[in-house]
Amino acid sequence: MNANSLKRLLTVHPLLARKVTALVSNLAAQGFDVEITQAMRTVAEQDALYSQGRTRKGPKVTNARGGQSLHNFGCAVDLALLVNGKLGWPEPHPVWAAIGREAARLGLEHGGAWRKPDLPHVQLKNVPPVSLCYALYIKGGLALVWAEVERIQPR
């Protein structure tokens, strides 16, 4: 994992960081070099991404407004495949199925399994609904959100 990926992992919940580190390592053992391209996003960053393809130029990249994504609470990351030094999201590609298998094995949720697949996305399971995360964030910041995440994690 490169320095940028490691830096991004410092912004997410420690449980997610540990699991994503294992995920990336397991994928490397299978011959897939992946990097973390997105981790924690501010509400403003999320709103800017949401406006892309709607009120700003560019392709639509998210259906979540600010405060409606687990990225806003450090509970999700996005990955990309690294080939010949360049990041990419090729479809179809066996890396996405490998991410899904490894994510499930590690107790993570892969966006590739969703009704509207989000292949690069991986998030913690057993987290509060995003509406509760946002309410907790408004009330007490990220520490309150993460305390609730830890409270409901399986033991």
Domain CATH for 57: 3.30.1380.10
CA distance 37 to 78: 6
Q: Residue 21's pLDDT band (boundaries 50, 70, 90)?
A: very high
In a domain, 132, yes or no: no
Residue 47 domain-assigned (yes or no):
yes
Determine, yes or no, domain membership for 54: yes
Asked if the structure places residue 60 within a domain, the reply is: yes
Is residue 131 assigned to a domain?
no
Inform me whether the pLDDT recorded for 154 exceeds 90. Answer: no
For the chain, give the longest Cα–Cα distance.
45
Q: Which residues of 62-98 are buried (b: 16+ CB within 10 A; e: fewer)?
A: bebebbbbbbbbbbbbbbbbbeeeeeeeeeeeebbeb
Number of domains observed in the structure of the chain: 1
Residue 44: pLDDT above 90? yes
For tokens 């490894």, name the residue.
102
Report yes or no on 139 lying in a domain: no
- Angle made by CA atoms 66, 87, 77, in degrees to the nearest 5: 35
With a cut of 90, say whether residue 94 has pLDDT above it: yes
CB 96 within 8 A of CB 119: yes
Contact 76, 70 (CB under 8 A): yes
Asked whether residue 154 is assigned to any structural domain, the reply reads no
Domain holding 24, by residue range, is 3-125
SS3 state of residue 153: coil
Its pTM stands at 0.94
Q: Would residue 134 count as lying in a domain?
A: no
